[in-house]
Amino acid sequence: MTSDDSRSTEFNPTRALADADGASRSMVESTDAPRGFMVVFVALVATFAALVNTVPWLVILSLGALSVPLFLWYHLVMRKRPKRRPVLERSRPYMGYFLLFYLVLFLSGYWVPDSWGEVAAKWLVVFALAWTFISLARRAELKNRLKDAHESCV
């Protein structure tokens, strides 16, 4: 038996830490909402923001009915996933990105489109900015939950 064979059977702390980090990361990501849900949610919010001053409220309320099957899908998917462990405190980047998301929605109300081309442009801008801030907030929350899990005592 050579020294290389004895090394391969020994405990490797670097590999063990990498395996533990990968397992905790996959556990945290498995408790989060599916990415498809987030895309559809942001698209629906961007549609509301683009059409709010262009079409009658009855059309917007009927589009709001699309949120019922969306949240039913969310409930059915999240029911099968493991429950989240509550974090002790939210991170500042998470709150900042979420406030920027709300700021995009608020400022989109000041852009009143005159044509359907402008509605499409407004939708693209609101969707791109909202998706950017929601995905950054999601990433910050996952990072904060991992940090919180590593620092908490069991």
pLDDT tens digits, residue range 74-103? Answer: 888 878 766 666 665 677 898 999 999 999
- Reading phi first (left if > 0) and then psi (alpha if -120 to 50, else beta), residue 88 is in alpha
Q: What is the mean pLDDT of residues 17-25?
A: 64
Position 4 scores a pLDDT of: 53
How do the domains of the chain map onto residue ranges? 35-84+92-152
Of 99, 132, 95, 59, nearest in space to 50 by CA = 59
Say if residue 13's pLDDT is above 80.
no
Cα gap 112→121, rounded to integer Å: 11
Of 91, 101, 99, 100, nearest in space to 144 by CA = 91
Contacts of 54 (CB under 8 A, 6+ apart): 112, 113, 119
